[in-house]
Amino acid sequence: MTFQELLFRLEQFWADYGCLILQPYDVEVGAGTMAPYTTLRALGPEPWYVAYVQPSRRPADGRYARNPMRLQHYYQYQVILKPSPDDVVDVYLESLRAIGIEPSEHDIRFVEDDWEAPTLGASGVGWEVWLNGTEITQFTYFQQVGGIECDPVCAEITYGPERLCMLLQKKNSVWELEWGRGITYADVDYLAELEHNYYNFEEADTEMLFRLFEMYEKESARIVEKGWVHPAFDLALKCSHIFNLLDARGSISVTERASYIQRIRTLARACCLKYLEKREAEGFPLLQKEWRVGLPATRR
Amino acid sequence: MSTVLKERATFLLEIGCEEMPAGFMRGTLQQLAEKLSQMLTEHRLSFAQIRTLGTPRRLIAFVDDLATHQSPEERTIRGPARRACFDEQGNPTQALIGFARSRGVEPEQVQFMQTPQGEYAFVTEYDAGRPALEVLAETLPNLILSMSFPKTLRWGARKMRFGRPIRWILALLDTEVVPFEIEGIASGRTSRGHRFLAPEPFEVPAPEAFLDALRRAHVIADPEERKAMIVDGATRLAHAVGLKPVIEDDLLEENVFLVEKPHLLRGSFPESYLRLPAPVLMSAMKKHEKFFPLVDSQGNLAPGFISVYNNGDPDKVREGNEWVLIARFNDASFFFEEDLKRPLTEFVPMLGRMLFQQKLGTLLDKTHRLERLSEKLARALDWDRDQTECLLRAAHLCKADLATQMVMEFPDLQGVIGREYALRANEPLCVAEAIAQHYEPRHAGDPPPNHPIGRALAVLDRIDTLVGYVGLGYLPKGSSDPFGLRRAAAAVVEILADEPDYPTLAELVQHAHDQYREQRAPLKPLVAVQPELRTLFYARIEALLEEKGVRYDLIRAALGGGWDDSVYGFVQRALLLQKRAQTPEFAARATTAIRPANILQAAEKQGLKPVADLSQIDPALFQHESEHALYAAVMRLTPQFEALYTAHQYETMDAMLAELDEAVNPLFDHVMVMTDDAALRANRLNLLACANRLYLALADWRQVVLSD
């Protein structure tokens, strides 16, 4: 199964289930969770069933493309189900069938792994899902976002498509994966990965980054006051990415670290609070819509 | 509803959940048994025993021989005193009428009985009890909701919290469903089998049929049975190729609670990976994949492992297991080669970017403190140049591996990797060993480091941590000790118990505190830190002595005495007391030794201030020969005791105290210490204080409990 086909099949499965298929969010994020499709929508009483690919950047995780599994830029397949359905684990296992993994033929384990994102003030409880010993999915029941209790609780299912594809294609390096049409992951992303590594670790102008952080931070705080939640949140995400870059450059001392994280959390929390306030003022519009989800008969 | 109910029946509860963390399970099952037992007793439902079983997906409790009806109860309710119940004409008062009404009887049905407080009104009520089915249905929802876990969650649109989402509840009293509901989850007789091997729900006719039905559905409910299956299977698979599995309790326990039915396979990896340090391979297998490593008869790591799995085609699972393990090894190999591009010493400056604790600075700050503390200790121990240099070098390098990629990936290998890398960087063997050893004992029950340099660094590192955290106000509370301070204190005590020449605890703490002060860390002043740490250390010394079988009162006596807080001294003196307590003279000694202590205490209560200072005794004020005799004994013994104490010669001191005993008793027999003459009294008290100081060198004898 090619990388692109894996993603198609996940898209198709979750669309059949009743999820909206969204497109990747266009601001740099460290994980699919940070897209407003998850961070903001996890809050409040409105139902929300979506799935999307999210390109994710974690500058400090780069290994100059020399490690077969670690990249500073990779993809996540993110599913949000709110409220979490009672049969959510069964549905998830069904999705594995859709990508050619017959659960009964493999050892699938749910190994405790709670999740926390200090920059978002978010935390959840859940598992890593193991397939024959390899972590293929992060499964989380969100408990808090922006320091606000999630009610109802959503289930977040985050697949690692590269890892899954390596298993399916029996490849030992992400770079050897066939993306599609005989073209490999390396053909698509190798050069960018390498260049970003040099930039992130050696070249990024830290003076500029510090200035940008301040500017974005100030702007986010200003804008959220006016009620413009989404632009303010994008600016908070910018701060988060810049912080990650500075961290990769080794420019943030251990003592400063906590205060930067706190500053980003403050921005994110303000956005979360304002988002909830605005949705409430609008009467939580999605509560009026009927959003039916469930496995179609053909998938049962 | 039911036909003929048996008098006693089995009750079965199964709480079906999504995969519960393995680490929660033992505690949760124990808690379930305790809560059930408490609830049933409270509700007068007798039972023979409660058995709990469980897998990651279910918590199961059997109550054997449960009464199906509450036992009846006769209760006597006391009302007002008789004199308040009737007026002068003998008519019932409002008090009596009100009491009768409140119990639902007529005033004439109220009885009167004599009590120690006089005659009172009583009503006897009879409670026939209710069927267990009703009581269970009412109490189980709260019982389930009241269960606690190390961490809980909410899920879906529900308000309740549990360790993981509850998906079904089975509750049967004999053949009857105990009907209740918790936020839309209704109890029933339906259970489910193995998630993959028997996913279909099935009905359970009666508790007795349940375990077999589960077995048919590929679930082994009893953790002990799963454990035995894993141990047997792993051993058999290993033996088949002439190897032995390395099965540690923690990992075994985790595997027991990661599967509903254990399956086992043997996997292998290319021998070329054995070039990586064995601890790295072991850690990748154990911590990351939860595999049992295999060793040959010499204990050398073999290129294979045993994997416990829940389900699947063995060939596919093995292929996947081997693939992921090799990927881990490749990762480790990558880190290994990257790390080895520079010598260990070059990692030290990187510690300046790694926090030890927000207010206590970085790991580089800690390293600097350890270097200074090492200098001091080496001087105190009068070490030669080689030993001193080795300690200083080890202190400099001991945290360096925390900056390596390998330790970031395999945190439990801290120290072990330091040793490997130190050896590869041609550091002396004593330095490399000390780096690994300074984290020992790594787990409760492990032996302490055996090398002097490793022991020194192990003590200093922990003292530094303890002083820092306690200085910031972090103290272990109840069962909460997030920074492992108790364990750190226990390790210090365990090592120092065998070190006669080390500085005292108070000195070690002061040195560490000085280092923090020089780095301007915001610690509480030494006088505030010392007593808190003393409490922490003394509790560990107590525990250590209890393990050595020393009587509790003698532990208290040893800890209450002594002229300083050398751990070695405490331990030796406690062991001496324990030995001496077996002898016939011991009681007489203790009785004599407490005489000065008691009178000094009484004097202090009256506001007097005796001082244990020989120069404050004036022999001209003595009136009786017994005073001269005691004075002579104290003068003779004091300088000798000071030398003997430093040399830890407690047994000799104990023998010499017989002289003091002989002088103390006559004084008490012939002299009135608390005389009205202030000068005479002060002089005698000072003399006794000097004698008491000698007794106190060994113990606080007042703590000794004498059986007769």
Structure confidence by residue, pLDDT tens digits, A19-76: 999 999 999 999 999 999 999 999 999 999 999 999 999 999 998 998 888 899 999 9
Where along chain B do the CATH 1.10.3210 domains lie?
Answer: 352-533
The whole model's pTM is what? 0.81
For residue A104, the distance in angstroms to the closest alpha carbon of chain B comes to 5
Q: Among B588, B561, B565, which Cα is nearest to B553's?
A: B561
Give A171's pLDDT tier (boundaries 50, 70, 90).
Answer: very high
Give B75's pLDDT tier (boundaries 50, 70, 90).
Answer: confident
Q: Dihedrals φ, ψ of A295, to 5°?
A: -70, 130
Which positions 155-214 of A are in contact with B (Cβ < 8 Å)? Answer: 155, 167, 170, 172
Judge whether residue A168 has pLDDT over 50.
yes
Q: For residue B654, what are the contacts with CB-CB under 8 A and spacing of at least 6?
A: B576, B580, B698
Q: Where is pLDDT greater, at A7 or B476? A: A7
Q: For residue B325, which residues of chain A lie inside 8 Å, CB to CB?
A: 133
What's the rounded mean pLDDT across residues A225-243?
A: 97
Q: Among B204, B165, B203, B163, which Cα is nearest to B184's?
A: B165
Architecture category of domain B8-70+131-216 in CATH: 2-Layer Sandwich (3.30)
User: What pLDDT, in 10s, does the model give residues A114-148?
Assistant: 999 999 999 999 999 999 999 999 999 999 999 99
Q: Among B623, B600, B625, which Cα is nearest to B686's?
A: B600
Give B1's pLDDT tier (boundaries 50, 70, 90).
Answer: very low
Judge whether residue B195 has pLDDT over 90.
yes
Share of chain A above pLDDT 70, in %: 99
The whole-number pLDDT of residue B368 equals 97
Reading the block at residue B329, the tokens are 């090894």
Judge whether residue B3 has pLDDT over 60.
no
The whole-number pLDDT of residue B4 equals 52
Report the residue of chain A nearest B291, measured CA to CA. Answer: A133
Beta pairing class for B185-188 and B166-173: parallel
Q: What is the 3-state secondary structure (H, E, C) of B640-651?
A: HHHHHHHCCCHH
- Count how many pairs of residues, chain A against chain B, have C-beta atoms within 8 Å: 118
User: What pLDDT, in 10s, does the model give residues A180-201?
Assistant: 999 999 999 999 999 999 999 9
Give A253's pLDDT tier (boundaries 50, 70, 90).
Answer: confident
* E strand or H helix that includes residue B683: helix B678-696
Report the residue of chain A nearest B200, measured CA to CA. Answer: A90
Angle, nearest 10°, between helix axes B678-696 and B586-605?
Answer: 140
Contact A147, A292 (CB under 8 A): no
Judge whether residue A274 has pLDDT over 60.
yes
Burial of B393 (0-12, 13-18, 19+ CB in 10 A): buried
**Hey, of B261, B287, B323, which one would you mutate to test binding to chain A, going by the most A CBs within 10 A of its CB?**
B323
**CA-to-CA separations, B479 to A9, B33, B474, B482, B484, in angstroms, rounded:** 49, 21, 14, 9, 11
Range B352-533 has CATH code 1.10.3210: yes
Q: How many CA atoms lie within 13 A of B505 on its CB side?
A: 33
Q: Dihedrals φ, ψ of B504, to 5°?
A: -75, 165
Contact A22, A53 (CB under 8 A): no
d(CA B390, CA B451): 12
User: What pLDDT, in 10s, does the model give residues B580-630?
Assistant: 999 999 999 999 999 999 999 999 999 999 999 999 999 999 999 999 999
For residue A222, the distance in angstroms to the closest alpha carbon of chain B comes to 30
Secondary structure class of B311 (helix, strand, coil): coil
Say whether residue A299 is in contact with chain B using an 8 A CB cutoff.
Answer: no
Share of chain A above pLDDT 90, in %: 92
d(CA B370, CA B416): 19
User: What pLDDT, in 10s, does the model give residues B437-491?
Assistant: 999 999 888 999 999 999 999 999 999 999 999 999 999 888 788 888 999 999 9
d(CA B149, CA B259): 20
Contact B397, B348 (CB under 8 A): yes
Q: How does B604-636 read in b/e, with b if 16+ C-beta sit within 10 Å? A: eeeeeebebebeebeeebbeeebbebbbebbee
The whole-number pLDDT of residue B2 equals 46
Where along chain B do the CATH 1.10.730 domains lie?
Answer: 575-703
Contact B288, B247 (CB under 8 A): no
d(CA B571, CA B33): 41
For residue B202, the distance in angstroms to the closest alpha carbon of chain A comes to 17
For residue A119, the distance in angstroms to the closest alpha carbon of chain B comes to 18
What's the rounded mean pLDDT across residues B204-226?
A: 97
Give B708's pLDDT tier (boundaries 50, 70, 90).
Answer: low
The whole-number pLDDT of residue B108 equals 87
Give A298's pLDDT tier (boundaries 50, 70, 90).
Answer: confident
For residue A67, the distance in angstroms to the closest alpha carbon of chain B comes to 7
d(CA B30, CA B554): 35
Judge whether residue A96 has pLDDT over 50.
yes
Reading the block at residue B605, the tokens are 């209560």
Cβ atoms within 10 Å of B564's Cβ, excluding its own: 14
Report the residue of chain A nearest B319, measured CA to CA. Answer: A132
Secondary structure class of B302 (helix, strand, coil): strand
Reading the block at residue A289, the tokens are 């819509």
The topology under which CATH files domain B575-703 is: Isoleucyl-tRNA Synthetase; Domain 1 (1.10.730)
User: What pLDDT, in 10s, does the model give residues B305-361?
Assistant: 999 999 999 999 999 999 999 988 988 888 899 899 999 999 999 999 888 988 999
Burial of B261 (0-12, 13-18, 19+ CB in 10 A): buried
Burial of A115 (0-12, 13-18, 19+ CB in 10 A): buried
d(CA B171, CA B206): 10
Place of tokens 């490999």: A184
Place of tokens 């007391």: B577
Residue A75: beta bridge partners? A55
The CA radius of gyration of chain B, in Å to the nearest whole number, is 35
The whole-number pLDDT of residue B5 equals 65
Judge whether residue A227 has pLDDT over 50.
yes
The answer to whether A63 contacts B334, with C-beta atoms less than 8 Å apart, is: yes
Say whether residue A153 is in contact with chain B using an 8 A CB cutoff.
Answer: yes
Q: For residue A70, which residues of chain B lie inside 8 Å, CB to CB?
A: 331
Burial of A126 (0-12, 13-18, 19+ CB in 10 A): buried
The answer to whether B21 contacts A167, with C-beta atoms less than 8 Å apart, is: no
What's the rounded mean pLDDT across residues B41-60?
A: 97
d(CA B445, CA B447): 6
| Plot region of B539 (φ>0 → left; ψ -120 to 50 → alpha; else → beta) | alpha
Where along chain B do the CATH 3.30.70 domains lie?
Answer: 8-70+131-216
Q: For residue B164, which residues of chain A lie inside 8 Å, CB to CB?
A: 125
How are strands ordered across the β-sheet holding B292-295? B244-245, B292-295, B301-309, B263-268
What's the rounded mean pLDDT across residues B672-687?
A: 92
Q: How does A26-51 read in b/e, with b if 16+ C-beta sit within 10 Å? A: ebbbbbbbbbbbbbbbbbbebbbbbb
Judge whether residue A300 has pLDDT over 80.
no
